[in-house]
A and B are shown apart, each in its own frame.
Chain A
Amino acid sequence: AQSVTQLGSHVSVSEGALVLLRCNYSSSVPPYLFWYVQYPNQGLQLLLKYTSAATLVKGINGFEAEFKKSETSFHLTKPSAHMSDAAEYFCAVTGTGGGNKLTFGTGTQLKVEL
Chain B
Amino acid sequence: ETGVTQSPTHLIKTRGQQVTLRCSSQSGHNTVSWYQQALGQGPQFIFQYYREEENGRGNFPPRFSGLQFPNYSSELNVNALELDDSALYLCASSSTPLFDSDTEAFFGQGTRLTVV
A interface list, Cβ under 8 A from B: 32, 34, 36, 41-46, 49, 51-53, 90, 92, 94, 97-107
Shortest distance between the CB of A88 and any CB in chain B (Å): 9
Residues on A with C-beta less than 8 A from B107 are 36, 43-45
A101 touches B4 (CB 8 A): no
Size range of the chain B interface in the assembly: 20 to 34
Contact partner of A51 (CB less than 8 A), chosen from B4, B40, B100, is B100
B53 interfacial contact with A, CB 8 Å: no
B66 interfacial contact with A, CB 8 Å: no
A34 touches B99 (CB 8 A): yes
Interface of B is mostly: loop
A43 touches B41 (CB 8 A): no
Shortest distance between the CB of A71 and any CB in chain B (Å): 21
B105 touches A46 (CB 8 A): yes
Q: Please judge, given known A-B contacts A32-B99, A100-B99, whether A46 and B104 are in contact too, CB under 8 Å.
A: yes
B99 touches A98 (CB 8 A): yes
- Taken together as a complex, chains A and B put the C-alpha atoms of A53 and B102 apart, in Å, by 12
B90 touches A101 (CB 8 A): no
B48-97 residues with Cβ-Cβ distance < 8 A to A are 48, 50, 55-56, 58, 90, 92, 97
- Taken together as a complex, chains A and B put the C-alpha atoms of A49 and B48 apart, in Å, by 20
A107 touches B42 (CB 8 A): yes
> 8 nearest interchain CB pairs?
A98-B100, A104-B42, A43-B107, A51-B101, A98-B98, A101-B45, A44-B107, A100-B56
